[in-house]
Amino acid sequence: MPTYFLALAYKGTRFAGFQIQDNAITIQGQVERAMATYLRENVQLTGSSRTDAGVHANRNFFHFSIDRILNHEFVYHVNAILPPDIAITGIYAVPEGSHSRFDAIGRRYKYHIYNSKNPFLNDRSWYYPYPMDLAELNQAASSLLGLHDFTSFAKRRTQVYTHICTISVCQWHETEDGWVFMVEGNRFLRGMVRALVGTMVKVGRKKISVESFQNLLLSKDSAMADFSAPGHGLFLDDVIYPSEITALLK
């Protein structure tokens, strides 16, 4: 049976999250409903990466199998049914058995902060009207590169087999509006990126030192981390797959 990866982008502002939930509007629920309307049959989607309420994505994926051939016409018609804050950006035939979540080898996130009041950014970036030291931010970020136990930056009572993640890219950039934090790794824990941002901005404001931030990472104590960075500043930028799958996603 043909298997497909479905790429999509969305603005998460009005959604309760990515994964389907009872009595809540979600990204998966909206896409499954639109597909059922067009295909006249129900298709169960499996997502590559869950995002929380209010979180956005530049590129996320579903996979599904169906006994028919689909092409760009499918994308056009499903997009016509979907609300304007969700867009299917591509459909790709992949080998049977391919899995959008388990085949992923990494994910990249970006967190946007703006420091001057702007009504056009308030639902896609965190308004943080304070000066920050970019060099200090990047010193803290560089200490996260490589393999570490990220218990200190994960929400408690989550069912994961390990808190160890490998970070390959971790850096802050100054922009015209403020700052962007970009991080790429093989896996991420629930609440991890927002906790990293919320804690690192304290370094940027010199409320805590880089050394204190590094010690927090080693402490494996999430009580000391700051989880207050709001979801609307966070974007899942991309999901990374092995070259044999990436070659098909073009």
pLDDT tens for 202-224 read 999 999 999 999 999 999 999 99
Instruction: Give pLDDT tens digits for 235-250.
Output: 999 999 999 999 999 8
> In which band, very low, low, confident or very high, does the pLDDT at 171 lie, cut at 50, 70 and 90?
very high
pLDDT value for 1: 86
Residue with tokens 């896996």: 187
**In this predicted structure, what is the pLDDT of residue 96?**
93
**Cα–Cα nearest to 196, from 171, 174, 159:** 171
Where in the chain are all domains bearing CATH 3.30.70.660?
106-238
190 pLDDT exceeds 80? yes
Average of per-residue pLDDT values in the chain:
96
Positions annotated as catalytic residues are 52
pLDDT of 89 higher than 90: yes
SS3 97: coil
Q: Which residue would you say has higher pLDDT here, 21 or 31? A: 31
C-alpha distances in Å from residue 183, one per residue of 2, 112, 118, 136, 168: 34, 12, 25, 16, 8
CA–CA gap between residue 18 and residue 32 (Å, rounded)? 12
Q: How far is CA 70 from CA 9, 67, 248, in A?
A: 19, 10, 15
Please choose, from the candidates 182, 148, 181, the residue with its C-alpha nearest in 3D space to the C-alpha of residue 163. Answer: 148
State the residue for tokens 């966070």: 234
**Count of alpha carbons within 13 Å of 84, Cβ hemisphere only?**
0
- Encoding tokens for residue 74? 């499918």
Asked if residue 123 has pLDDT above 90, the reply is: yes
Which DSSP category does 186 fall into? S
Residue type, 31: V
pTM of the model: 0.95
Residue 223 in tokens: 């009580």
In this structure, which topology does domain 3-103 adopt according to CATH?
A: Alpha-Beta Plaits (3.30.70)
18-32, 153-167, 174-188, range with the lowest pLDDT: 153-167
Mean pLDDT of 106-125: 97
Quick: pLDDT tens for 37-67.
999 999 999 999 999 999 999 999 999 999 9
**Confidence grade of residue 23 (pLDDT, cut at 50, 70, 90):** confident
Question: 106-238 maps to which CATH number?
Answer: 3.30.70.660
pLDDT at 22: 85
In the chain, list all ranges with CATH 3.30.70.580.
3-103
Res 155: pLDDT: 86
Q: Over range 184-198, report the average pLDDT.
A: 96
Mean of pLDDT values over 5-10: 98
